[in-house]
Amino acid sequence: MHQFYFEKLQVWQNARLFVKDIYLATADFPSDEKYGVISQLRRATMSIAANIAEGMSRTTDKDKLRFLNQAYSSGIEVVSFLILSFDLDYLILDVYNYLREQVEKVTNQILALSKRIKIDMKE
């Protein structure tokens, strides 16, 4: 089976695993949050992986950077929802800390990839 370029990127692989982590964590949230924080948190998390994939399929570096910026912004949105979920006692401290570490790892990788693309643009 053919593997697309984005599938080979560690940042996308980590974002993919993070989606699973978020789905597992939100499965225990109150059912009345189904269309609230659960939906928003899952959507934002999936957006990270999706924007990395779509961005890395673009032919221009400018387009790649635009999608990576969107992926990073979705990561920041996830951080906000994690904080709110912890504040609402939907996440215990250990789970919150783990998820926070994972989103920070992915967003740092997005920034590193963006930086590399910017350097390549100058050469």
Residue 49 belongs to domain with CATH number: 1.20.1440.60
Nearest one of 51, 46, 68 to 113, comparing CA atoms: 68
Predicted confidence at residue 120, as pLDDT, reads 86
- Rounded Cα distance between 68 and 48, Å, is 8
Residues 13-49 have pLDDT tens digits of 999 999 999 999 999 999 999 999 999 999 999 999 9
Instruction: Report how far apart, in Å, the C-alpha atoms of 95 and of each of 21, 90, 98, 106 are.
Output: 10, 10, 5, 17
Is the CB of residue 1 less than 8 Å from the CB of residue 24?
no
> What SS3 state is found at 115?
helix
Q: How many domains does the chain have?
A: 1
- Per-residue pLDDT tens for 49-88? 999 999 999 999 999 999 999 999 999 999 999 999 999 9
Q: How confident is the model at residue 107 (pLDDT cuts 50, 70, 90)?
A: very high
Domain that holds residue 76: 5-122
pLDDT at 121: 84
Q: pLDDT by residue (tens digit) across 80-91?
A: 999 999 999 999
The pTM score is: 0.95
